[in-house]
Amino acid sequence: MIEFKYAPSEQVDEAAYQTKIDEARTYVARAQQDDFGGWVDLPVNYDKEEFARIKAAAKKINEDSDYLVCIGIGGSYLGHRAVIETLGGERGRTKIVYAGNSLSPRMLEKAIAEVGDKDFSINVISKSGTTTEPAVAFRVFKQILIDKYGEEEAAKRIYATTDANKGALHDEAVAKGYETFVVPDNIGGRYSVLTAVGLLAIAVAGVNIDALMDGAEEERAVLISDGGAAAEYAAMRNVLLAKGYDIEILANFEPQFVMFNEWWKQLFGESEGKEGKGIYPASVVDSTDLHSMGQYIQEGRRALFETFVEVQGEYRGVTVPSFGENLDGLQYLEGKELDYINKTANVATREAHKAGGVPVLEILVPEIDERALGGLIYFFEMACALSGFCLGVNPFNQPGVEAYKNRMFELLGKPGYEKK
């Protein structure tokens, strides 16, 4: 179970907080009933037949591929990369290479070079099937796959995760006979990591997707009636925003969370940043970033608050060795677990930043494992929806994403986008 804590301070208006919690709790039903609220009940009603096909496809890919090239961007990319990297990376034979999440030729060449002449398969993930970044990368890797294996075998190595009924990728998959998985209509990209969008790559990486879904189901059971701790976190964010704290930094002391932070930033940024409103989501991984961003957080403009993701479990194995001398001045740490030192740095950072006028929130996670991560993902999805409703925006749309695309298509000469 995920817990939420905060350090009481003069910046937190307790009465406003209690009122906002009551409001946030009323929005659980609204999220569940929304046309894009499919993620609310997903952990208990996901498609078991498709889930079994995902496992079978992952097994085949593990048997016949050294690499899985995962092609997608935004909500069709960040979730699975976040889960895989937070859990420590690929565990078996098949390594994941990511492509189609930018238009950089350097990055694409790097991905091609990494796959080299090894055996590989492709999971192309795109709800619309027309997003330029993944569409271009798919063309490039599809050509390489066909050159290597021929059309027939290449088609057996392409897994398309897309709309169930329509779109360019769907139509191509049907025409060419690719195995397909579904991006559900009622779940937006940034809420879709626990659908086929994320699960195929996660399973290929050797992660136990049953445990991941179990964790989400357990967290749903805790939150479904009144939002539980997710409603408290959502309410606190809005109370702080009303006081002028319009930047939130997600902080943790585990570098394996770097991509999880990116997933979280998309979730909150795309859900809340609209109509001139929203909290700007930022992130740090400490203690690394204390040596780059720590100065600003401690003493810069007082408009930010920090949310620390705290892993409760202990990690044993690395201790500070004993020497007969104390030339480096570290004798006082001899025999101490590095995890203890890391956690102490975490406590010290929270205390120092709070003393510097930064409101400090905490999200407590039992462990870094599949179950806990499934729970954490569900917790943040629920908190994000409730927080967006408290803010007075629709947390499930992203109309602003189209602006750059329309101008880019105009500049690139895409038919139908000629300058008016």
- Positions touching ligand PA5 (CB under 6 A) are 73-76, 126-128, 131, 134, 188-190, 270, 398, 401
Task: Given the residues 55, 148, 405, 414, select the one marked as catalytic.
Answer: 405
Nearest approach, Cβ of residue 62 and ligand PA5 (Å):
25
Q: Which is nearer to ligand PA5, 62 or 162 (CB)?
A: 162
Tokens of 255: 């570098």
Q: Which residues lie below 8 Å from residue 186, measured CB to CB, with a gap of 6+?
A: 35, 36, 37, 38
User: What is the phi-psi region of residue 371: left when phi exceeds 0, alpha when psi lies from -120 to 50, beta otherwise?
Assistant: alpha
Angle made by CA atoms 293, 297, 298, in degrees to the nearest 5: 115
DSSP for residue 257: G
Nearest approach, Cβ of residue 405 and ligand PA5 (Å):
9
DSSP per-residue string spanning 261-292: HHHHHHHHHHHH--TT--PEEEEEETTGGGGT
Nearest approach, Cβ of residue 74 and ligand PA5 (Å):
2
Q: Which is nearer to ligand PA5, 194 or 372 (CB)?
A: 194
Active site residue 90: no
**Phi, psi of 29, rounded to the nearest 5 degrees:** -65, -40
Question: What's the gap between Cα 348 and its chain centre?
Answer: 27
**CA 71 – CA 233 distance, rounded (Å):** 33
Q: Which is nearer to ligand PA5, 74 or 273 (CB)?
A: 74
Q: Which is nearer to ligand PA5, 75 or 359 (CB)?
A: 75
Q: Which residues lie below 8 Å from residue 61, measured CB to CB, with a gap of 6+?
A: 68, 94, 121, 159, 204
Q: Which is nearer to ligand PA5, 261 or 398 (CB)?
A: 398
Task: Given the residues 217, 248, 262, 270, select the one marked as catalytic.
Answer: 270
Which residue type sits at 191?
Y
**Phi, psi of 362, rounded to the nearest 5 degrees:** -135, 135
Active site residue 405: yes
Nearest approach, Cβ of residue 178 and ligand PA5 (Å):
16
Which residue type sits at 320?
V
Q: Which is nearer to ligand PA5, 180 or 346 (CB)?
A: 180
Nearest approach, Cβ of residue 188 and ligand PA5 (Å):
5
Q: Assess contact for 298 and 352: CB atoms under 8 A.
A: yes
Nearest approach, Cβ of residue 394 and ligand PA5 (Å):
13
Contacts by residues 399-403 (CB-CB < 8 Å, ≥ 24 positions apart): 399/274, 400/273, 400/274, 401/74, 401/270
Q: Which is nearer to ligand PA5, 134 or 359 (CB)?
A: 134
Task: Given the residues 48, 291, 419, 420, select the one marked as catalytic.
Answer: 291
Active site residue 270: yes
Q: Which residues lie below 8 Å from residue 384, measured CB to CB, with a gap of 6+?
A: 234, 267, 268, 271, 272, 395
Q: Write the burial class of residue 409 (CB in 10 Å: 0-12 exposed, 13-18 middle, 19+ buried).
A: middle
Q: Which residues are catalytic?
A: 270, 291, 405
